[in-house]
Amino acid sequence: MTSNVLAVILRQEDWRENDVLVTMYTREYGKLEAVAKGLRKIESKLVSHLEPLTTAEIFIVQGRRWPIVAGSFVENPRFSLRTDLSHLVSAGAIAHLIDLMTPLENPDERIYGLLEDTLSIVTENFLEPATGQLLVHLFAWKMLAATGYRPQLKICLQCHHRIAGEKFFFSPRRGGIIHSRCHSHGQLLHIEIKTAALKGLTYMLEAPMNMTLRLRGERQAFIEMTTVISRTFEERFEIPFPAIASVI
């Protein structure tokens, strides 16, 4: 591999004495890992170019074992994230979700665009802590759909009729909605949700991420939405949903 890529830096890991293993999500190749040689040296010119959450154009060459970062140019440093802890936490959680939910070298420009759009929302807007937490969960919700786990929210999984009513149950394991009348009381792992939460989840599967800022509703509806999302994530990936301060 010898290529210029446009990438969002997800994380860094110390590698040998002076090097760093950089994980990035690229527009061209999906998630990549590449070694930045000498990055831990004070005089390294690449240090500021490869900060997590930075978007950069990166020149990569193939080394004997790993791709090597041979040069870079910063496209968007996102300096403002580093001056606001709540925004930094939200952006960091988004980068962590991309890292957890995507395999190496599996390109998807939709995911790259979703990542850039969501980081722009965090960077360019004042977000209440509750809005930041909701944004992270809805990012995960759209990522679940983009990575092949699109939930069924319009047809009951049991009776296969169109969803109707005031109360429903969501099955994280089966990935969809069950009518209250079709639900068995022994199914303890199902999540009870009301109409408002179901409408929010359905809407945000298709709506652009910036519509998160316009969502309005009762606190309970947002609790139900985030519970469905985190439990579905945990069922699909068999790991806990990334910890974010509970502020909703």
Domain end: 41, 56, 78, which one? 78
Same-domain pairing of 74 and 146: no
**For residue 85, is it within any domain?**
no
Q: State mean pLDDT over 119-135.
A: 91
Among candidate residues 48, 78, 108, the one where a domain is terminated: 78
Range with lowest mean pLDDT among 1-10, 31-40, 169-178, 183-192? 183-192
Look at residue 39 and tell me if it is in a domain: yes
How sure is the predictor about 248, in pLDDT bands with cuts at 50, 70 and 90? very low
**Does residue 246 or residue 155 have the better pLDDT?**
155
**70 and 142 belong to one structural domain:** no
pLDDT surpasses 80 at 195: yes
Domain for residue 169, yes or no? no
140 and 232 fall within a common domain: yes
Q: Provide the domain count of the chain.
A: 2
**139 and 40 within one domain:** no
**pLDDT given at position 28:** 96
Residues 135, 223 share a domain: yes
Q: Which domain holds residue 14?
A: 3-78
CB-CB contact of 72 with 5 (8 Å):
no
Q: What is the CATH number of the domain that holds 61?
A: 2.40.50.140
Whether residue 55 sits in one domain with residue 133: no
Q: State pLDDT tens for residues 39-67.
A: 656 555 656 668 899 999 999 998 888 89
Domain endpoint, select from 58, 78, 98: 78
Same domain, 135 and 233: yes
Residue 100 lies in a domain: no
The two tokens of residue 94 are 């988004």
> Is residue 53 in some structural domain?
yes
Helices (H), the chain: 85-101, 109-124, 129-146, 195-206, 219-237
Domain membership of residue 204 (yes or no) is: yes
Give the SS3 label for residue 68: strand
pLDDT score of 119 more than 60: yes
Answer yes or no: do 52 and 146 share one domain.
Answer: no
CB within 8 A of 154, min separation 6: which ones? 162, 163, 177, 202
Q: Report the range of poorest mean pLDDT among 24-28, 78-82, 103-107.
A: 78-82
pLDDT of residue 185: 67
Q: Examine residue 48 and state whether it is found in any structural domain, yes or no.
A: yes
Concatenating the DSSP letter of every residue in 204-248 gives: HHHS-GGGGGG----HHHHHHHHHHHHHHHHHHHSSPPPP-----
8 and 70 both lie in a single domain: yes
133 and 231 both lie in a single domain: yes
165 within domain boundaries: no
